[in-house]
Chains A and B, each alone.
Chain A
Amino acid sequence: MPKIFRYIDYRVGDIRTAEDITSHVFEKALAGFHSFSPGKASFFTWLMSITRNTLIDYFRANKKGHQSVPLEKASEIPTNNPSPEEELQRKEEQQRLRVCMAGLSIQEQEIISLKFGAEMNNRQIAGILYISESNVGTILYRAVRKLRDSFKEWQDEQ
């Protein structure tokens, strides 16, 4: 479950929404478990298909192709609960990361989410996205560098 949750969190950029969608995914999986065929794919691959389809439905319903976090919200940090300085720093960086993710192409966001969120290797990602393993590596490297540069710009401004 954490892998599914993290993947969704990377894609939607909001924890509460990610929790809702994760719940939907597992409910759908439970309802459709009779359709799972071990010979065709692993359970995790099957679950990821449900997850991606659920996300597509979510984005279509919200008329989005990807997460979008308005820049003015990037600095709004939830301050209901007091937290140590490190935790605050972490939250800031997470929020900024979400903004930077929104600047990537959809394919780049997908690959980052599958790699860092769902913890899939390049071969698994290639199988899900129907691109070659080498292309996954290329896009991943490019996307991480883009994120790094975007993130660094924000840090320099701070």
Chain B
Amino acid sequence: MSNEFDMEKEFSKNIDRMRSGDEIEPVHMSDDYLSALDFARKLVTLRDNPSPVYTTQLKERLLPELREKEKQTSQETKSNRFADFISRLSSNRRIWQMAAATVLIAVIFGGVWGALSLLTPGIFNEPSPAKQQDAASPAPSAPSAPADSTPTESSPSQPASEPAITPADTYPVYVNAESHPDAYFPDEEITFLISVENKSAEPIQLDQFPPDIQIERSPSNTVVHVIHSNGTEKIVPPGQTVSITISWDQTDDQGNPVDYGYYRIKPEDIHYNAKQDTGIFSPIEIQIVSTDKEKGE
């Protein structure tokens, strides 16, 4: 299996080299592999290119539109400049700002004074930003698993969200990942729900459920951790969904805490019905924020 995987990986790399005109390195010497490589070479040479006439016509059609857009953009920029110019007409801009701030403070003070004069003296209401409250007590919505990366199976038949681009009649199996909230502090356990929906009219047998989960740094797509769930085969009736909650303790494969930033949660491929095809899934993105930042930004 590992040899086959290496061969497929090498095959793809050789195609990339071929396309860019580099030397290819056929490490695997089987006839089947070499003839596949030869055919890939043929595919590269048989590619069509847009005709020069078409390219010229497209440029001629699009360039005026592009110039029009640039003109509109520069007009908008001119309008902004005009507004700036008007604002600069008041030479003592700083005085205007100070005056506006003074008026605002006076209004607030007057309001508070008026309220205090009606209420019992001594009551003082300090404004409390909603974000600070949210940051102090985050509330995960999904049921959590133990602190290490282990899955917790939940009840089936939960609805999955809408699939991505591909039409439903082409791909009957959809895999979805959800996380609420989508931003976490470093010491919080991250939980996400993985669901697999069978949109077909026939039962399907998944070869592994729950799937392994790949956690990637975004946007570089560097894999930082893989959660091995040791899943087993599972049958999903038509129209039904199976789901599971999985936790991540924010560590990489070496057990070190990961940095702040964005991470993509990607379920590994779920093959079904004797590995004929894979389900389509939409990865999600979560953010690990520092304690100085507020959640939700």
Contact = CB atoms under 8 A, between A and B. Distances in A.
A56 B167 CA distance: 8
A102 interface: no
B46 interface: yes
Given A140-B8, A141-B8, A94 B48 contact: yes
Interface string B63-106: 00110010000000000000000000000000000000000000
B240 to A, nearest CB: 22
B230 interface: no
Given A138-B8, A141-B7, A151-B39, A6 B49 contact: yes
B22 to A, nearest CB: 13
The size class of the interface chain A forms with chain B is 35 or more
A121 B268 contact: no
B269 interface: yes
A2 B50 contact: yes
B278 A131 contact: yes
B297 interface: no
Nearest to A141: B8
Interface stretch (B143-151, B178-186, B280-288): B280-288
B46 A132 contact: no
A106 B171 CA distance: 9
B165 A93 contact: no
Interface in A69-123: 90, 93-94, 97, 105-107, 112, 115-117, 119, 121-123
A23 B47 contact: no
28 contacts: A1-B58, A2-B50, A9-B47, A26-B62, A30-B69, A40-B219, A60-B167, A65-B170, A93-B42, A106-B170, A112-B43, A116-B44, A121-B12, A130-B280, A130-B281, A131-B269, A132-B269, A134-B5, A137-B8, A137-B12, A140-B11, A140-B12, A144-B36, A144-B39, A144-B43, A145-B36, A145-B39, A148-B36
